[in-house]
Amino acid sequence: YREASKAFSLAKSLSTGNSKSFFVRQ
Protein backbone atom coordinates (compact mmCIF):
# COMPACT_ATOMS: atom_id res chain seq x y z
CA TYR A 1 0.00 0.00 0.00
CA ARG A 2 2.92 2.34 -0.68
CA GLU A 3 0.99 4.10 -3.44
CA ALA A 4 -1.75 4.96 -0.95
CA SER A 5 0.80 6.51 1.38
CA LYS A 6 2.25 8.51 -1.51
CA ALA A 7 -1.20 9.70 -2.53
CA PHE A 8 -1.87 10.80 1.05
CA SER A 9 1.44 12.68 1.17
CA LEU A 10 0.64 14.32 -2.14
CA ALA A 11 -2.76 15.43 -0.85
CA LYS A 12 -1.09 16.94 2.21
CA SER A 13 1.43 18.74 0.01
CA LEU A 14 -1.43 20.12 -2.05
CA SER A 15 -2.91 21.61 1.11
CA THR A 16 0.35 23.44 1.75
CA GLY A 17 0.66 24.41 -1.89
CA ASN A 18 3.80 22.37 -2.49
CA SER A 19 2.01 19.75 -4.57
CA LYS A 20 3.58 21.15 -7.74
CA SER A 21 7.10 20.95 -6.33
CA PHE A 22 6.47 17.46 -4.96
CA PHE A 23 4.97 16.27 -8.23
CA VAL A 24 7.88 17.68 -10.22
CA ARG A 25 10.33 15.92 -7.89
CA GLN A 26 8.55 12.62 -8.39
**Residue predicted with more confidence, 8 or 26:** 8
Sorted by sequence, the CB contacts under 8 Å of residue 23 that are 6+ apart come out as: 10
pTM to 2 decimal places:
0.41
Residue 25 phi, psi dihedral angles, 5° rounding: -65, -45
Residue 22, judged by CB atoms within 10 A of its CB (0-12, 13-18, 19+), counts as middle
Distance between CA atoms of residues 22 and 11, nearest Å: 10
More confident residue, 19 or 20: 20
* Total Cβ atoms within 10 A of residue 7: 11
pLDDT tens column, 2-19:
888 887 777 776 666 555
